[in-house]
Amino acid sequence: MEIKEKIESLRKEIELLNYRYYVLNQPTISDFEFDGKLKELENLEAEYPEYADPNSPTQRVGSDINNNFVQVEHIHPMLSLSNTYSEGEIREFYDRTKKALNEDFEIVCELKYDGTSISLIYENGSLIRAVTRGDGTKGDDVTANIRTIKSIPLKLHGNNYPPLFEIRGEVLLPWNTFHELNEEREKNEEPLFANPRNAAAGTLKLQNSKVVAQRKLDSYLYYLLGDNLPFDGHYENLQAVKNWGFKVSDAIRKCKTIEEVLHFIDYWDKERKNLPVATDGIVLKINSGKQQRNLGWTAKSPRWAIAYKFQAESAETKLLSVEFSVGRTGTITPIANLEPVLLSGTIVKRASLHNEDIINKLDIHYGDSCYIEKGGEIIPKITGVNKNTRTLFLGEKVTFVKQCPACGTPLIRLDGESAHHCPNNSGCPPQIKGMIEHFVSRKAMNINAGEETINQFYDNGLIRNAADLYHISLQDILRLERWGEKSVANFMESLEVSKQVPFERVLFALGIRFVGETVAKKLANAFHDINNLMNASYQQLISVDEIGEVIAQSIIQYFSEESNVKQVQKLQEKGLQFSLSEKTMAERTRLLKGKTFVISGVFSEHSRDEYKELIDKNGGKNTSSISSKTNFVLAGENMGPAKLEKARKLGIRIINEYEFLKMIND
């Protein structure tokens, strides 16, 4: 067999094995055998690069090249569906359709998956483009990331599909993968995803497709569009696409009466708890394509389809106690401890009470029987109290604490805020520990110390602020439990390496309230070193791009506290970077001062992020949307047509990357 034929044969075989494993859930060979075939194909493609194919199954691992997304206009607008929440509204939709059509019709009932919408374009049996919903008119081209999802075919089976068509569906993160991902993020001290929907959407927008591949996204396809479709019926088309290699849910039913529709809804309202993925309702569609066209569309949604949203799952259980936790910035959060109850497939023991206003509104007492909901969120919430179950022996009313539960300091509540705060940030143990945990985190100083280590150091009196980390000796740590010479060496080495972390990350690591990564970078570029920032006036601060009143006041407040100033001085003495490097300063100019840029499209010389850096370094300002204040649009290939039209309408100068590079090089 010739090499080209061998490669193509292996590709077809592996795609079929992928289809049987990920779509049909019917594997036919062992993982070991599959890995052997994939490795053989990888070796052949490496040896014969002239036969490379972006749709080869070897490309599903993704690439770690950073690709900025290009916005692509949808062939057909991706409209949203009208939502209903009751049986009455479903009957209204049915009666309205019956009156408008004045003939028999069928309704296809499908599960409404709680993920992120995607549009896939296939040409001659190959995936050529994948686009997110975006604003419904245009979305982001995420083809590289979609190629990593093994339930989405890169090449179709058979040959009875149209030469060009679009198929839409939902990209999902299964529950088990979602929990694994959050466990990993917790270990890495990263923020947890609230629900699988957010996790799927966030994953699909990652610039690194290699990471996307590791997330194990899944998909269900539910809508075929294009010319020369196999059938007029939506249901029949979905059955056809299964044979092409697409993953289509088996939970689809074609109904002829309203009673059949309501029975489907009632069944899945209960059974959905056993599904491996998140669902939040049922979608009803008129089956006939001809009848769909007759019913038409409104400006926002089709008249031939509607979504029924499930009520958030709730349960009733007893309130045992309330604890008030203290966050890194001193925010006090009330958490209810409950009698364990089964909700959304998990045992719930805790629920959020949010803040004092919510507690007062609920009029909740200890021992009350309360209603809890878990609409896909990590921590359920209490939504009400069953006052009918109260007895003469009513428990004490839940009231918000007046003093910090950790240090006893009187709490404050700022105007316009719903949360209470402990102002004792330099003497409150949870705040101190939280600030140090933030300081050592990966995006800040990246020091080899997690929550357990910080607690151990604090409890043994080794640290009381972040600067103390640099004063800990080898002997201090070796006296502690669970520490060996290698782990101590790793920790000490990470401390030394952290002294090379650039100024903007050190500034972020200080944990000044409202100063995140982006704001820290803006401040570093504006003031160049910590002394300038510490002495900056309110007017100087708010003159910096994106620095408003709240952030400015927070910075002034932070440096007005002697303990914070002393900590900065100690960190300076230990050699941390508290000014922009000479190299960074040498690269900075004022060539673009007062000029505002919007970047759009794809570039060949630099990435979009690199062009943003160049604009910042030369004194210019980046914004994402075009307005009358925009001076230039830096346009690459495939610039969004809406931005192009708006720029021309406002008379804004449009330049290409070579004109821009000439501006800053001159």
Q: Just list the catalytic residues.
A: 112
- The pair of structure tokens assigned to 269 is 């309202």
The one-letter amino acid code at 289 reads: G
The one-letter amino acid code at 456 reads: Q
Pure H helices in 61-208: 87-101, 143-146, 175-187, 196-204
- Going by C-beta distance under 8 Å and a sequence separation of 6 or more, which residues neighbour residue 418? 354, 355, 356, 357
Cα separation, 309 vs 392, in Å, equals 39
- The pair of structure tokens assigned to 192 is 């947890």
In this structure, are strands 138-140 and 71-73 parallel, antiparallel, or unpaired?
antiparallel
- The pair of structure tokens assigned to 363 is 């009029």
Instruction: Say how many C-beta atoms besides its own lie within 10 A of residue 21's C-beta.
Output: 17
The one-letter amino acid code at 614 reads: L
- The pair of structure tokens assigned to 85 is 């929440």
Orientation angle between helical segments 175-187 and 196-204, nearest 10 degrees: 80
The CA–CA distances, whole Å, from 493 to 120, 417, 447, 477, 632 equal 48, 42, 9, 14, 46
- The pair of structure tokens assigned to 508 is 């972020």
The one-letter amino acid code at 118 reads: I
Among residues 196, 203, 184, 185, the alpha carbon closest in space to that of 144 is found at 203
Cα separation, 413 vs 401, in Å, equals 12
Cα separation, 607 vs 614, in Å, equals 11
- The pair of structure tokens assigned to 49 is 């690069």
Cα separation, 491 vs 478, in Å, equals 12
Among residues 600, 620, 635, 481, the alpha carbon closest in space to that of 545 is found at 620
